[in-house]
């Protein structure tokens, strides 16, 4: 059962600024990873469905880290969406707009953040009443410049930007009024997870959280 609405999801992601995007090969690592994310100040996890361990990892995170916001990423079809929600995912994120998965999640009351790369795809999502979208791959598509261009015709849409976003470029994205968060793949690098180096994950999360705080303290950029 869904525990939050699209609006609540946007609010929680916006409060974090950076949402950890993690790929887990071993579900037994999930609880310790969840605790590292929380200790680092980023209590959320988008678990990508890029390994067979994804569903079990989501279930472990929900069971062992009840205060962590846990969802599924790389949701590309209906079967994946159903597996994610059955495991306890509180939201789903996709690199595109898988119609069956999107419609099913909406019917079940599960927030779904579809991926878009063009104005046409933005309009397709809006037709289904979805206004929290994932811009992917953000950096390749044009980054903040594209977001500024889309803000004109789509002022009611807000973006989660992933794909090529790093700590040193996060400020450029989060400065845009229509960006509610960025996906932080860099806070849980595969090398750290493979070696169970959760101290590094916690440190990277702390750095990202501090950068978000710095960005939000900075004066708004002047627009001529």
Q: Distance between CA atoms of 134 and 180, rounded to whole angstroms?
A: 10
- Listed in sequence order, the residues at least 6 apart from 221 whose beta carbon sits closer than 8 Å to its beta carbon are 175
Active centre residues (catalytic):
46, 134
DSSP string for residues in 81-132: HHHHHHHT-S-EE-SS--HHHHHHHHHHT--EE-EE-SHHHHHHHHHTT--E
Cα 128 to Cα 114, 133, 140, 202: the distances in Å are 11, 12, 26, 37
Q: Distance between CA atoms of 174 and 212, rounded to whole angstroms?
A: 8
Residue 155's Cα: distance from chain center in Å? 21
């Amino acid at each position: 059962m869904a525990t939050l609405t699209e609006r609540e999801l946007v609010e929680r992601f916006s409060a974090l600024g950076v949402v950890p995007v993690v790929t887990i090969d071993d579900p037994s690592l999930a609880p310790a990873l969840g605790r590292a994310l929380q200790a680092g100040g980023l209590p959320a996890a988008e678990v990508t469905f890029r390994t067979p361990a994804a569903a079990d990892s989501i279930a472990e995170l929900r069971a062992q880290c009840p205060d962590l916001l846990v969802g599924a990423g790389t949701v590309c079809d209906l079967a994946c969406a159903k597996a994610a929600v059955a495991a306890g995912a509180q939201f789903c994120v996709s690199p595109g707009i898988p119609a069956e998965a999107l419609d099913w999640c909406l019917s079940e009351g599960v927030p779904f953040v579809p991926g878009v790369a063009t104005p046409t795809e933005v309009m397709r999502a809006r037709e289904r009443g979805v206004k929290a979208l994932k811009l992917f791959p953000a950096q390749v598509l044009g980054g903040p410049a594209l977001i500024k261009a889309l803000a004109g015709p789509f002022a009611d849409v807000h973006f989660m930007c992933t794909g090529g976003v790093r700590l040193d470029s996060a400020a450029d994205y989060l400065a845009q009024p229509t960006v509610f968060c960025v996906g932080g793949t860099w806070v849980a690098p595969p090398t750290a997870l493979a070696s169970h180096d959760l101290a590094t994950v916690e440190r990277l999360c702390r750095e990202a959280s501090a950068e978000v705080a710095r960005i939000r303290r900075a004066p708004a950029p002047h627009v001529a």
